[in-house]
């Protein structure tokens, strides 16, 4: 179960969805990286290549789609706020839809993290990476 690194008070409900996605991106990435290094010791280039498979917008969008039926009302609202947030750009290597779904997932992960809902965050990540899907 992940816990916060600082004891600073932070009202996640008052943060913009893109701010939640900003921290959620890092939490998601840390989860993927930890999973990879626990599988085997590999050169950094190989580790990076494996991580990219799970943290790309397309991969995160797939995970978000799989996750949607399992979200409660509050979680779904946070996801939708992130998905519908106005971004200034979409990376050229992803579709606009995938980028927005990935942002929704990252916003949800950030919200769970900042609200110290570690057990639920663990459940969410397990759902994202279950069914033999590439787990980084």
Residue 98 annotated in active site: no
Distance between CA atoms of 17 and 26, rounded to whole angstroms? Answer: 14
Q: Tell me how crowded residue 72 is: count the other CB atoms within 10 A of its CB.
A: 8
Catalytic pick among 25, 29, 98, 131 = 25
What phi and psi values does residue 6 have, to the nearest 5 degrees?
-120, 165
Angle separating helix axes 17-39 and 96-114, nearest 10 degrees:
90
Residues classed as catalytic: 25
């Amino acid at each position: 179960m992940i816990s916060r690194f600082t004891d600073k008070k932070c009202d996640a409900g008052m943060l913009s969805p893109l701010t939640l996605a900003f921290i959620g991106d890092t939490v998601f990435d840390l989860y993927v990286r930890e999973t990879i290094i626990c599988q085997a010791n590999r050169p950094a280039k190989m580790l990076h290549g494996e991580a990219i498979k799970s943290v790309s917008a397309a991969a995160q969008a797939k995970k978000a789609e799989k996750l949607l039926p399992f979200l409660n009302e509050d979680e779904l609202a946070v996801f939708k706020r992130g998905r519908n947030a106005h971004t200034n750009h979409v990376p050229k290597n992803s579709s606009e839809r995938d980028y927005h779904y990935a942002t929704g997932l990252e916003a949800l992960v950030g919200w769970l993290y900042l609200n110290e809902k570690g057990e639920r965050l663990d459940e969410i990540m397990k759902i994202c990476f279950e069914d033999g899907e590439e787990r980084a």
